[in-house]
Amino acid sequence: MNQILNVSRDAFSSGQVGSKLWLCQELETLFESADNIWIYGGWYGVMAFLLNSRSNMSIGQIRSYDVDPSCEAIADMINENWVIDNWKFKAHTEDCNQLNPSQNSPDLIINTSTEHFESMDWWHNIPQDTVVALQGNNMIHDDHHIHSRCLQEFVAQFPVTTTLYTGQKEFVYPNWRFTRYMLIGVK
Ligand SMILES: C[S@@+](CC[C@H](N)C(=O)[O-])C[C@H]1O[C@@H](n2cnc3c(N)ncnc32)[C@H](O)[C@@H]1O
């Protein structure tokens, strides 16, 4: 039976998809493989869909966590090709501030939603030596808890022992523009 799903168009906008493609490109430059990727604030699973579709990294499994319960079924639908392939993808409804990655040893944690997180517990709970790939931006929104005015300000919030990549990307449209920041490093 066909079902009409209520999705936010923004998840598929140029700014969102372009930012995630940029993250894919930088990860693929740094790593040939990752066994167990966790995505925080995974929304509809577009990040996972792009990483898996591009096939430039060998990926064991991806787990996508979002506190919004409406995301799980949509993320699983978009990533069904990998859900049915021995659970290479699965979305879960979870508050990432309550997750304890030290029990499951993800080798890469991605968070492209850092500005949406109310607390930094998710960051404090990530064990040392875990590779992290994080994005933020300079947009001012009611539902953004973090506003980074520049790359240095963004990066300073997430101290890593080894910096593998930092950069910023401008997204310019006829009516508006914003800057996305990115940090990849070893915590
Ligand atoms: C608007 S979306 C994503 C925006 C981001 N720029 C991106 O590309 O992924 C932000 C997501 O973060 C999720 N989120 C916010 N706080 C969270 C938390 N504590 N745990 C899990 N997900 C959370 C929201 O439910 C939402 O789906």
Report the CATH number at residue 46. 3.40.50.150
Please name the residue ranges forming H helices in 6-150: 14-30, 46-54, 70-78, 80-83, 121-124
CA-based angle 82:91:121, to the nearest 5?
Answer: 135
31 lines ligand 1 (CB under 6 A): no
Degrees (nearest 5) of the Cα angle 74, 79, 83?
A: 110
Please name the residue ranges forming H helices in the chain: 14-30, 46-54, 70-78, 80-83, 121-124, 151-156
| pLDDT score, position 144 | 66
User: Measured in angstroms, how far is the CA atom of residue 154 from the centroid of ligand 1?
Assistant: 17
Ligand 1 centroid to residue 57 C-alpha, Å: 24
85 inside domain? yes
- How remote is the CA of residue 101 from the centroid of ligand 1, in Å? 18
CA 163 – CA 182 distance, rounded (Å): 11
The answer to whether residues 151 and 181 touch, using CB atoms and an 8 Å cutoff, is yes
- Of all protein residues, the one whose alpha carbon is nearest to atom 12 of ligand 1 is 41
CA 41 / ligand 1 centre spacing (Å): 4
d(CA 87, CA 185): 27
- Cα 67 to Cα 61: distance, rounded to the nearest angstrom: 20
Residues linked to residue 63 through DSSP beta bridges, in sequence order:
38, 90
pTM (two decimals): 0.96
Residue 176 maps to a domain: yes
Domain extent for 54 = 9-186
Number of domains making up the chain: 1
**Is 82 domain-assigned?**
yes
In the chain, what's the furthest Cα-to-Cα distance?
50
Q: What pLDDT, on a 0 to 100 scale, did the predictor assign at position 5?
A: 79
What is the pLDDT, as a whole number, of residue 27?
98
Contacts of 124 (CB under 8 A, 6+ apart): none
65 Cβ closer than 6 Å to some ligand 1 atom: yes
68 lines ligand 1 (CB under 6 A): yes
Block means of pLDDT (10 residues each) for the chain, 187 residues, are 82 97 98 98 98 98 98 97 98 97 93 94 97 92 77 96 98 95 98
Cα 2 to averaged position of ligand 1 atoms, centre (Å): 27
Residue 149 confidence (pLDDT)? 87
* Overall residue count recorded for the chain in this entry: 187
Domain for residue 130, yes or no? yes
| Residue listed under structure tokens 């300079």 | 138
Is there an atom of ligand 1 within 6 Å of 72 CB? no
Q: Name the residue of 111, 116, 154, 180 whose CB sits within 8 Å of the most ligand 1 atoms, as the mutation to test its pocket.
A: 116
